[in-house]
Amino acid sequence: MIQPQVNNPFILALIARNLTVEIHHHSAYQIVLSNDTPFDSTINGVKHESIHGFLIRPHISHFCVSEKGTLNVLNIEPYSYIGLELADRFQADERYVVFETPAVSKAFFQTSTDTLDVGNVLEALQANVPSAAYDERVAKIADYIKENYFRADITPQTFSDIVFLSPSRLASLFKQQTGSSLSKYLLWTRLRQAIYLILSDESRTLTDVAYDTGFYDLPQFNKYMYEMFGMPPKALKHNSDLIRIY
Protein backbone atom coordinates (compact mmCIF):
# COMPACT_ATOMS: atom_id res chain seq x y z
CA MET A 1 0.00 0.00 0.00
CA ILE A 2 1.28 3.49 -0.85
CA GLN A 3 0.71 6.50 1.38
CA PRO A 4 0.70 10.20 0.36
CA GLN A 5 4.05 11.98 0.61
CA VAL A 6 5.04 13.11 4.08
CA ASN A 7 6.57 16.51 4.77
CA ASN A 8 10.27 16.74 4.02
CA PRO A 9 12.22 18.45 6.84
CA PHE A 10 15.42 18.92 4.87
CA ILE A 11 14.94 22.68 4.42
CA LEU A 12 15.44 25.20 7.22
CA ALA A 13 14.36 28.72 6.21
CA LEU A 14 15.06 31.77 8.37
CA ILE A 15 14.50 35.48 7.93
CA ALA A 16 16.95 38.01 9.40
CA ARG A 17 16.95 41.80 9.53
CA ASN A 18 19.93 44.14 9.84
CA LEU A 19 22.22 41.14 9.92
CA THR A 20 26.00 40.98 10.01
CA VAL A 21 27.37 37.42 10.10
CA GLU A 22 31.02 36.63 10.73
CA ILE A 23 32.97 34.34 8.41
CA HIS A 24 31.86 30.72 8.72
CA HIS A 25 31.14 27.54 6.79
CA HIS A 26 28.70 24.66 7.23
CA SER A 27 27.56 21.30 5.88
CA ALA A 28 24.33 22.47 4.24
CA TYR A 29 23.74 24.03 0.87
CA GLN A 30 22.71 27.61 1.54
CA ILE A 31 20.61 30.07 -0.42
CA VAL A 32 20.64 33.69 0.76
CA LEU A 33 18.19 36.10 -0.85
CA SER A 34 17.23 39.72 -0.24
CA ASN A 35 13.62 40.83 -0.57
CA ASP A 36 14.53 44.49 -0.55
CA THR A 37 18.02 46.02 -0.17
CA PRO A 38 21.11 44.68 -1.97
CA PHE A 39 23.82 43.44 0.38
CA ASP A 40 27.54 42.68 0.44
CA SER A 41 29.04 39.23 0.87
CA THR A 42 32.53 37.76 0.84
CA ILE A 43 32.51 34.19 -0.47
CA ASN A 44 35.61 32.01 -0.63
CA GLY A 45 37.74 35.15 -0.15
CA VAL A 46 36.07 37.16 -2.95
CA LYS A 47 34.00 40.22 -2.06
CA HIS A 48 30.73 40.78 -3.92
CA GLU A 49 29.03 44.16 -3.45
CA SER A 50 25.37 45.13 -3.89
CA ILE A 51 24.14 41.65 -4.76
CA HIS A 52 20.62 40.28 -4.31
CA GLY A 53 21.53 36.75 -3.32
CA PHE A 54 23.70 33.66 -3.72
CA LEU A 55 23.71 29.86 -3.66
CA ILE A 56 26.71 28.25 -1.99
CA ARG A 57 28.02 24.70 -1.81
CA PRO A 58 28.70 23.11 1.60
CA HIS A 59 31.98 23.91 3.39
CA ILE A 60 32.69 27.16 1.52
CA SER A 61 33.73 30.01 3.84
CA HIS A 62 31.58 33.14 3.58
CA PHE A 63 29.96 35.99 5.46
CA CYS A 64 27.31 38.63 4.80
CA VAL A 65 26.72 42.26 5.72
CA SER A 66 23.14 43.52 5.41
CA GLU A 67 22.72 46.35 7.86
CA LYS A 68 19.61 47.90 6.31
CA GLY A 69 17.71 45.09 4.65
CA THR A 70 16.03 41.73 5.12
CA LEU A 71 17.69 38.45 4.21
CA ASN A 72 16.05 35.09 3.65
CA VAL A 73 18.39 32.22 4.50
CA LEU A 74 17.57 28.72 3.27
CA ASN A 75 19.65 25.76 4.45
CA ILE A 76 19.28 22.47 2.58
CA GLU A 77 20.53 19.01 3.51
CA PRO A 78 23.07 18.19 0.74
CA TYR A 79 22.02 14.55 0.31
CA SER A 80 18.28 15.17 0.18
CA TYR A 81 16.66 15.20 -3.24
CA ILE A 82 16.61 19.00 -3.27
CA GLY A 83 20.28 19.12 -2.28
CA LEU A 84 21.23 16.67 -5.01
CA GLU A 85 19.22 18.64 -7.56
CA LEU A 86 21.01 21.86 -6.53
CA ALA A 87 24.37 20.11 -6.92
CA ASP A 88 23.54 19.39 -10.56
CA ARG A 89 23.10 23.11 -11.25
CA PHE A 90 26.76 23.88 -10.60
CA GLN A 91 29.46 23.70 -13.23
CA ALA A 92 32.25 21.27 -12.37
CA ASP A 93 34.53 23.94 -10.89
CA GLU A 94 31.84 26.25 -9.46
CA ARG A 95 31.67 26.70 -5.70
CA TYR A 96 28.89 29.27 -5.59
CA VAL A 97 26.47 31.24 -7.76
CA VAL A 98 25.84 34.96 -7.21
CA PHE A 99 22.52 36.62 -8.14
CA GLU A 100 23.23 40.17 -9.19
CA THR A 101 19.57 41.05 -9.80
CA PRO A 102 16.14 39.57 -9.01
CA ALA A 103 15.80 38.61 -12.68
CA VAL A 104 18.89 36.40 -12.42
CA SER A 105 17.34 34.67 -9.44
CA LYS A 106 14.10 34.13 -11.33
CA ALA A 107 15.93 32.46 -14.21
CA PHE A 108 18.01 30.28 -11.90
CA PHE A 109 15.19 29.01 -9.69
CA GLN A 110 12.52 29.18 -12.41
CA THR A 111 10.15 31.13 -10.19
CA SER A 112 6.94 32.75 -11.39
CA THR A 113 7.85 36.33 -10.41
CA ASP A 114 10.85 38.64 -10.64
CA THR A 115 10.99 39.17 -6.88
CA LEU A 116 13.26 37.21 -4.57
CA ASP A 117 10.33 36.15 -2.40
CA VAL A 118 11.36 33.07 -0.45
CA GLY A 119 7.93 31.48 -0.86
CA ASN A 120 8.37 31.43 -4.64
CA VAL A 121 11.83 29.88 -4.29
CA LEU A 122 10.62 27.22 -1.86
CA GLU A 123 7.78 26.34 -4.20
CA ALA A 124 10.18 26.06 -7.14
CA LEU A 125 12.57 23.86 -5.16
CA GLN A 126 9.80 21.56 -3.99
CA ALA A 127 8.54 21.22 -7.55
CA ASN A 128 11.76 19.40 -8.44
CA VAL A 129 11.33 16.74 -5.75
CA PRO A 130 10.34 13.34 -7.21
CA SER A 131 6.54 13.04 -7.10
CA ALA A 132 6.29 9.33 -6.31
CA ALA A 133 4.46 8.68 -3.04
CA TYR A 134 6.35 7.18 -0.11
CA ASP A 135 6.11 3.53 0.86
CA GLU A 136 3.81 3.19 3.90
CA ARG A 137 6.76 2.00 6.02
CA VAL A 138 8.77 5.14 5.25
CA ALA A 139 5.71 7.28 5.99
CA LYS A 140 5.25 5.43 9.28
CA ILE A 141 8.84 6.11 10.33
CA ALA A 142 8.55 9.78 9.35
CA ASP A 143 5.40 10.07 11.47
CA TYR A 144 7.17 8.39 14.37
CA ILE A 145 10.07 10.85 14.16
CA LYS A 146 7.66 13.79 14.02
CA GLU A 147 5.99 12.62 17.24
CA ASN A 148 9.05 11.29 19.12
CA TYR A 149 12.08 13.33 17.96
CA PHE A 150 12.65 14.45 21.60
CA ARG A 151 13.53 10.92 22.73
CA ALA A 152 17.30 10.60 23.14
CA ASP A 153 17.14 6.79 23.15
CA ILE A 154 16.07 6.39 19.51
CA THR A 155 18.32 3.93 17.63
CA PRO A 156 18.22 2.23 14.22
CA GLN A 157 16.71 -0.79 15.96
CA THR A 158 13.88 1.41 17.24
CA PHE A 159 12.83 2.10 13.65
CA SER A 160 13.30 -1.53 12.57
CA ASP A 161 11.01 -2.80 15.30
CA ILE A 162 8.25 -0.41 14.15
CA VAL A 163 8.07 -1.65 10.56
CA PHE A 164 9.54 -5.16 10.94
CA LEU A 165 12.49 -4.62 8.61
CA SER A 166 16.16 -5.13 9.33
CA PRO A 167 18.10 -1.91 10.06
CA SER A 168 20.05 -2.25 6.79
CA ARG A 169 16.94 -2.90 4.66
CA LEU A 170 15.06 0.00 6.22
CA ALA A 171 18.04 2.33 5.82
CA SER A 172 18.26 1.43 2.14
CA LEU A 173 14.53 1.93 1.57
CA PHE A 174 14.46 5.26 3.39
CA LYS A 175 17.43 6.64 1.48
CA GLN A 176 16.00 5.43 -1.82
CA GLN A 177 12.77 7.34 -1.19
CA THR A 178 14.02 10.53 0.51
CA GLY A 179 17.52 10.86 -0.93
CA SER A 180 19.05 11.03 2.55
CA SER A 181 19.54 8.85 5.59
CA LEU A 182 17.32 8.14 8.57
CA SER A 183 19.89 9.62 10.93
CA LYS A 184 19.97 12.90 8.96
CA TYR A 185 16.17 13.01 8.83
CA LEU A 186 16.04 12.68 12.61
CA LEU A 187 18.83 15.24 13.10
CA TRP A 188 17.20 17.86 10.86
CA THR A 189 13.86 17.34 12.59
CA ARG A 190 15.51 17.92 15.98
CA LEU A 191 17.46 20.96 14.80
CA ARG A 192 14.43 22.58 13.18
CA GLN A 193 12.39 22.14 16.35
CA ALA A 194 15.27 23.34 18.55
CA ILE A 195 15.66 26.52 16.50
CA TYR A 196 11.92 27.10 16.64
CA LEU A 197 11.99 26.81 20.45
CA ILE A 198 14.95 29.18 20.73
CA LEU A 199 13.20 31.83 18.65
CA SER A 200 9.71 31.41 20.08
CA ASP A 201 10.27 30.78 23.81
CA GLU A 202 12.74 33.13 25.49
CA SER A 203 12.15 31.48 28.88
CA ARG A 204 13.90 28.27 27.84
CA THR A 205 17.63 27.98 28.37
CA LEU A 206 19.75 26.45 25.62
CA THR A 207 20.32 23.42 27.85
CA ASP A 208 16.54 23.03 28.19
CA VAL A 209 16.16 23.23 24.41
CA ALA A 210 18.86 20.59 23.91
CA TYR A 211 17.20 18.13 26.26
CA ASP A 212 13.70 18.90 24.99
CA THR A 213 14.64 18.08 21.39
CA GLY A 214 16.47 14.80 21.91
CA PHE A 215 20.12 15.87 22.21
CA TYR A 216 22.15 14.27 24.99
CA ASP A 217 23.42 17.63 26.24
CA LEU A 218 24.22 21.19 25.21
CA PRO A 219 27.70 20.36 23.82
CA GLN A 220 26.17 17.84 21.41
CA PHE A 221 23.53 20.39 20.35
CA ASN A 222 26.27 23.01 19.85
CA LYS A 223 28.30 20.58 17.73
CA TYR A 224 25.51 19.70 15.32
CA MET A 225 24.16 23.23 15.10
CA TYR A 226 27.58 24.62 14.18
CA GLU A 227 28.34 21.75 11.80
CA MET A 228 25.07 22.06 9.87
CA PHE A 229 24.45 25.82 9.90
CA GLY A 230 27.76 27.47 10.79
CA MET A 231 26.59 29.10 14.02
CA PRO A 232 26.16 28.03 17.66
CA PRO A 233 22.71 28.09 19.28
CA LYS A 234 23.67 31.11 21.37
CA ALA A 235 23.96 33.19 18.18
CA LEU A 236 20.25 32.69 17.59
CA LYS A 237 19.42 33.18 21.25
CA HIS A 238 21.17 36.53 21.39
CA ASN A 239 19.67 37.72 18.08
CA SER A 240 16.15 36.36 18.43
CA ASP A 241 14.75 39.85 17.99
CA LEU A 242 16.25 39.93 14.49
CA ILE A 243 15.64 36.37 13.30
CA ARG A 244 12.59 34.17 12.91
CA ILE A 245 11.95 30.78 11.36
CA TYR A 246 9.56 30.15 8.49
| DSSP state letters, 16-63 | EEEEEEEEE--SSEEEEEESSS-EEEEETTEEEEEE-EEEE-TT--EE
- Residue 2 has a pLDDT of 38
Neighbours of 8 (CB within 10 A): 19
Is residue 233 within 8 Å of residue 192, measured between CB atoms?
Answer: no
Distance between CA atoms of residues 139 and 191, nearest Å:
20
- Residue 138 has a pLDDT of 92
> Are 11-127 and 136-235 the same fold in CATH?
no
Query: What is the residue extent of each domain of the chain?
Result: 11-127, 136-235
- Residue 99 has a pLDDT of 93
Is residue 128 within 8 Å of residue 79, measured between CB atoms?
Answer: no
Distance between CA atoms of residues 69 and 79, nearest Å:
31
Distance between CA atoms of residues 55 and 91, nearest Å:
13
The series of mean pLDDT values per 10 residues for the chain, 246 residues long, is: 51 79 87 87 94 94 83 90 90 92 85 69 78 82 94 94 95 89 94 90 92 96 92 77 67
Distance between CA atoms of residues 188 and 62, nearest Å:
22
Fold of 136-235: Arc Repressor Mutant, subunit A (1.10.10)
Distance between CA atoms of residues 198 and 3, nearest Å:
33
Buried b (16+ CB within 10 A) or exposed e, 36-71: eebbebebeeeebeebbbbbbbbeeebebebeebbb
- Residue 131 has a pLDDT of 65
- Residue 241 has a pLDDT of 59
Is residue 82 within 8 Å of residue 109, measured between CB atoms?
Answer: no
Is residue 69 within 8 Å of residue 38, measured between CB atoms?
Answer: yes
Fold of 11-127: Jelly Rolls (2.60.120)
- Residue 31 has a pLDDT of 93
Model pTM score: 0.87
- Residue 63 has a pLDDT of 87
